[in-house]
């Protein structure tokens, strides 16, 4: 019996900035991920992370999803 193994892409591709897991916007993830760089490293790494995903900072979306993160249990 042959075992199926999924193929991995040669290099990971970042998600686009409009759809993420479960069809939700990636900004829900990116807003908290960039916040996490401040908590875990120091200020100044947010732009590097966004640049790696090929998106520019969107202050309105970042503020919205960070506020949502704060009030969600």
Whether 43 is covered by a domain: the verdict is yes
Whether 4 is covered by a domain: the verdict is no
pLDDT tens readout for residues 19-72:
444 445 688 899 999 999 998 998 899 999 899 888 888 999 899 889 988 998
Instruction: Establish how many alpha carbons lie within 13 A of residue 31's alpha carbon, considering only the half-sphere containing its beta carbon.
Output: 19
pLDDT grade for 3, boundaries at 50, 70 and 90: low
**Structure-token match 């490293």, residue found:** 41
Can you give the pLDDT at residue 22? 42
SS (H, E, C) the chain: CCCCCCCCCCCCCCCCCCCCHHHCCCHHHHHHHHHHHHHHCCCCCHHHHHHHCCCCCCHHHHHHHHHHHHHCC
- The count of domains in the chain is 1
Residue 17 has pLDDT above 50, yes or no: no
Residue 4 has pLDDT above 50, yes or no: yes
Whether 56 is covered by a domain: the verdict is yes
Nearest to 30 by CA among 8, 59, 9: 59
Give the predicted TM-score (pTM) of the model: 0.62
Whether 7 is covered by a domain: the verdict is no
Can you give the pLDDT at residue 21? 47
Residue 29's domain comprises: 21-71
């Amino acid at each position: 019996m042959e075992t199926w193994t999924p193929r991995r892409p040669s290099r990971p591709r970042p998600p686009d900035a409009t759809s993420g897991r479960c069809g939700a916007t990636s900004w829900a993830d990116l807003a908290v991920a960039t916040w996490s760089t401040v908590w875990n490293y120091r200020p100044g790494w947010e732009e590097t992370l966004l640049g790696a995903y090929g998106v520019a900072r969107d202050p309105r979306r970042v503020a919205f999803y960070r506020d949502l993160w704060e009030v969600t249990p």
